[in-house]
């Protein structure tokens, strides 16, 4: 199972293009996987015959798991380490009873591993031992982190078991010497369901509150589990403050209507482009970030990364979740280019066909709920971003004129969420003020 991104730990098999016994060549598609963000076809890297399929359609495989076995031609090289392992061992000195017991246990463990690799427990077999260095991957679940958790010592085996079972070591009391967490402590702990938050009431406790009430249980899919994990982390770890501004969009609306009316028509009579208000907002937000370069930054633990160009992520609603495709160098692109790219990204996002580099990264993000009639809202920052702009619906609002009268204008409310580790209040206000000025005088970000 390949790793399609730094945060991708597993993938679900949704389709097999080959069956056991079929011949395959390099570059030929083997299977299609679905992660929390996208779907992707995985090709073979060697030639040979597909002899074993370890994960069927609908099953989830960890990154690095042996999904299938190819033998013959390019597949023969992968069998070499197994043959070497079966060679007779050199004579050894007599063992003490203690060492003999250790060797017996080691042999038993090796025998269990061999049994798994032969197919008795294929869902747990991993390719870490003898992987081709060119294709070597590691899942984030296997990056166990530091040996000490909150000042408590943890054995390596306990860390590995906790990572495999999704158990938070911070909630375990160690039974080893000096409170050390050992494997037995992890085995007795209750694993956290995928996507569930470690704190709060358990599923059983919540269900007990609604005993006798009709409801439907909806299991978490990969996307919803990832959203739950990442945004819970964001709320708990990012010190966020919010800034809000009402913005006059009268000139921008008029410019959009004029641009769409002037769009050249093709042979079919359809206009070459149709710009949305959101297209102008993306362009203006990118321009604002480059005009306030100190705010065009992300948080990187022990440092802040500042960027010369603005890569803008735009939230796109999907069935059961959302995804944020990124428009690269939005500050240097025309509004028509931004519009065409956004339509393409949004369409492929809804089909879950985005590549990891198309939704990862970015320097800031926009969430627009104006089309749902929401006047204003606050958006949660998606780390490592330091800002996210929430856009409300356009509306008619009364404002006071310079002579003391009242007039109605087209207005929208923009709310900026800021990571206080990167932006202070004055810097955030400067950024939002720059955006407000650009929207109210749209010609300034088009020239």
Residue 438: inside a domain, yes or no? yes
**pLDDT band at residue 315, thresholds of 50, 70 and 90?**
very high
Note the pLDDT of residue 248.
Answer: 96
Range from 77-91, 256-270, 382-396 carrying the lowest mean pLDDT: 77-91
| Boundary-marking domain end, from 78, 106, 135 | 135
Q: How far is it, in rounded angstroms, from Cα 89 to Cα 106?
A: 15
Q: Return the CA Rg of the chain.
A: 28
Give per-residue burial for 191-206: e unless 16+ CB within 10 Å, then b: ebebbbeeeeeeeeee
Note the pLDDT of residue 6.
Answer: 62
> E strand or H helix at 432, and its extent?
helix 425-440
Mean pLDDT value across residues 325-333 = 96
CB 435 within 8 A of CB 445: no
Q: What is the largest CA-CA distance in the chain?
A: 103
Q: What is the pTM of this model?
A: 0.63
CB 87 within 8 A of CB 64: no
Q: Give 217's contacts (C-beta < 8 A, 6+ positions apart).
A: none
Q: How far is it, in rounded angstroms, from Cα 321 to Cα 310?
A: 25
Confidence check: pLDDT of 86 > 60: no
Residue 233: inside a domain, yes or no? no
Residue 5: inside a domain, yes or no? no
Q: Give 391's contacts (C-beta < 8 A, 6+ positions apart).
A: 278, 281, 366, 367, 368, 369, 370, 412, 414
Give per-residue burial for 83-106: e unless 16+ CB within 10 Å, then b: eeeeeeeeeeeeeeeeeeeeeeee
Residue 228: inside a domain, yes or no? no
Q: Give 173's contacts (C-beta < 8 A, 6+ positions apart).
A: 179, 185
Q: Give 178's contacts (C-beta < 8 A, 6+ positions apart).
A: 153
Note the pLDDT of residue 121.
Answer: 39
> Alpha helices of 292-424 — where are they, by DSSP H?
335-350
Domain that holds residue 118: 10-135
Note the pLDDT of residue 152.
Answer: 64
CA atoms in the 13 A half-sphere facing the CB of 238: 27
CB 323 within 8 A of CB 367: no
Number of other CB atoms surrounding residue 162 within 10 Å: 25
Q: State the total domains in the chain.
A: 3
Residue 326 has phi, psi (to 5 degrees) of -115, 130
Print the SS3 string covering 105-144.
Answer: HHHHHHHHHHHHHHHHCHHHCECCCCCCHHHCCCCHHHCC
Position with higher pLDDT, 244 vs 207: 244
Mean pLDDT value across residues 318-336 = 93
Confidence check: pLDDT of 71 > 50: yes
E runs forming strands in 165-283: 240-248
Note the pLDDT of residue 200.
Answer: 61
**pLDDT band at residue 323, thresholds of 50, 70 and 90?**
very high
Catalytic residue among 178, 309, 385, 420: 420
Do 329 and 401 belong to one domain? yes
Q: How far is CA 261 from the centre of its chain?
A: 39
- Mean pLDDT for the chain? 81
Range from 13-27, 214-228, 323-337 carrying the lowest mean pLDDT: 214-228
CA atoms in the 13 A half-sphere facing the CB of 86: 6
Q: How far is it, in rounded angstroms, from Cα 42 to Cα 53?
A: 14
Do 269 and 414 belong to one domain? yes
Do 400 and 277 belong to one domain? yes
Residue 72: inside a domain, yes or no? yes
CB 297 within 8 A of CB 305: yes
**pLDDT band at residue 120, thresholds of 50, 70 and 90?**
very low
Q: Which pair of structure tokens corresponds to residue 216?
A: 């439907």
Do 321 and 411 belong to one domain? yes
Do 191 and 336 belong to one domain? no
Do 130 and 150 belong to one domain? no
Note the pLDDT of residue 184.
Answer: 85
Residue 445 has phi, psi (to 5 degrees) of -105, 5
Do 22 and 103 belong to one domain? yes
Confidence check: pLDDT of 332 > 60: yes
Q: Which pair of structure tokens corresponds to residue 382?
A: 């998606």
Confidence check: pLDDT of 98 > 80: no
Q: How far is it, in rounded angstroms, from Cα 13 to Cα 41?
A: 10
Range from 25-39, 86-100, 265-279, 394-408 carrying the lowest mean pLDDT: 86-100
For the segment 391-411, what is each residue's pLDDT rounded down to a tens digit? Answer: 999 999 999 998 999 999 999
Q: Give 88's contacts (C-beta < 8 A, 6+ positions apart).
A: none
Q: Which of 46-50, 300-304, 373-377 has the highest mean pLDDT?
A: 373-377
Confidence check: pLDDT of 234 > 80: yes
For the segment 376-392, what is each residue's pLDDT rounded down to a tens digit? Answer: 999 999 999 999 999 99
Do 274 and 331 belong to one domain? yes
Range from 2-6, 169-173, 201-205 carrying the lowest mean pLDDT: 2-6
For the segment 2-45, what is each residue's pLDDT rounded down to a tens digit? Answer: 876 666 778 889 899 999 889 998 888 899 888 766 778 888 88
Do 104 and 242 belong to one domain? no
Q: Which of 157-161, 174-178, 191-195, 281-285 has the highest mean pLDDT?
A: 281-285
Mean pLDDT value across residues 338-353 = 93
> E strand or H helix at 77, and its extent?
helix 76-85
Position with higher pLDDT, 100 vs 338: 338
**pLDDT band at residue 199, thresholds of 50, 70 and 90?**
low
Residue 226: inside a domain, yes or no? no
**pLDDT band at residue 362, thresholds of 50, 70 and 90?**
very high
Tell me, what CATH number does 261's domain have? 3.30.559.10
Do 111 and 93 belong to one domain? yes
Q: Which is it for the CA torsion 233, 238, 244, 247, positive or negative?
A: negative
Do 210 and 334 belong to one domain? no
3-class DSSP assignment, residue 32? strand
Q: Which residues pair with 85 in a beta bridge?
A: none
Residue 231: inside a domain, yes or no? no
Do 211 and 288 belong to one domain? no
Note the pLDDT of residue 312.
Answer: 97
Mean pLDDT value across residues 145-162 = 66
Residues in the chain: 447
Active site residue 78: no
Q: Which of 53-57, 80-84, 92-96, 154-158 has the highest mean pLDDT?
A: 53-57
Residue 395: inside a domain, yes or no? yes
Q: How far is it, in rounded angstroms, from Cα 360 to Cα 364?
A: 11
Note the pLDDT of residue 134.
Answer: 41
For the segment 40-60, what is each residue's pLDDT rounded down to a tens digit? Answer: 888 888 888 999 899 999 888
């Amino acid at each position: 199972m390949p790793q399609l991104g730094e945060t991708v730990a597993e993938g679900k098999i949704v389709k097999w293009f080959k069956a056991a016994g079929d011949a395959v060549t390099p570059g030929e598609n083997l299977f299609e996987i679905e992660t929390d963000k996208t779907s992707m076809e995985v090709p073979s890297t060697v030639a040979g015959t597909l002899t074993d399929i370890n994960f069927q359609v609908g099953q989830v495989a960890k990154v690095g798991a042996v999904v299938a076995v190819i033998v013959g031609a390019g597949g023969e090289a992968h069998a070499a380490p197994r043959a070497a392992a079966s060679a007779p061992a050199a004579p050894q000195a007599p063992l003490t009873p203690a060492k003999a017991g250790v060797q017996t246990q080691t042999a038993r463990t090796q025998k269990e591993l061999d049994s798994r690799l032969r197919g008795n427990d294929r869902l747990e077999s991993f390719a870490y031992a003898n992987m081709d260095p060119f294709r070597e991957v590691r899942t984030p679940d296997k990056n166990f982190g530091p040996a000490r958790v909150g000042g408590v010592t943890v054995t390596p085996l306990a860390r590995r078991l906790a990572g495999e079972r999704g158990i938070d070591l911070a909630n375990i009391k160690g039974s080893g010497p000096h409170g050390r967490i050992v494997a037995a402590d992890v085995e007795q702990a209750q694993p956290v369901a995928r996507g569930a938050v470690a704190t709060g009431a358990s599923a059983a406790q919540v269900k007990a509150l609604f005993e006798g009430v009709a409801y439907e249980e909806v299991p978490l899919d990969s996307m919803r589990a990832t959203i739950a994990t990442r945004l819970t982390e964001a709320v708990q770890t990012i010190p966020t403050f919010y800034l809000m501004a009402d913005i006059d969009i009268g000139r921008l609306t008029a410019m959009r209507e004029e641009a769409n009316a002037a769009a050249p028509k093709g042979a079919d009579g359809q206009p070459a482009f149709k710009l949305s208000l959101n297209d102008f907002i993306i362009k203006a937000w990118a321009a604002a970030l480059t005009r306030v370069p100190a705010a065009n930054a992300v948080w990187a633990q022990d440092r802040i990364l500042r960027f010369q160009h603005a890569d803008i992520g735009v939230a796109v609603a999907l069935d059961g979740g959302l995804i944020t495709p990124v428009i690269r160098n939005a500050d240097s692109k025309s509004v028509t280019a931004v519009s065409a790219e956004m339509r393409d990204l949004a369409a492929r996002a809804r089909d879950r066909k985005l590549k990891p580099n198309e939704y990862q990264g970015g320097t800031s993000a926009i969430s627009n709920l104006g089309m749902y009639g929401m006047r204003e809202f606050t958006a949660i920052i998606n780390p490592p971003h330091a800002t996210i702009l929430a856009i409300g619906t356009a509306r008619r609002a009364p404002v006071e004129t310079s002579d003391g009268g009242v007039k109605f204008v087209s207005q929208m409310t923009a709310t900026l969420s800021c990571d206080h580790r990167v932006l202070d209040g004055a810097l955030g206000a400067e950024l939002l003020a720059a955006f407000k000025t650009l929207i109210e005088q749209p010609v300034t970000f088009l020239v």
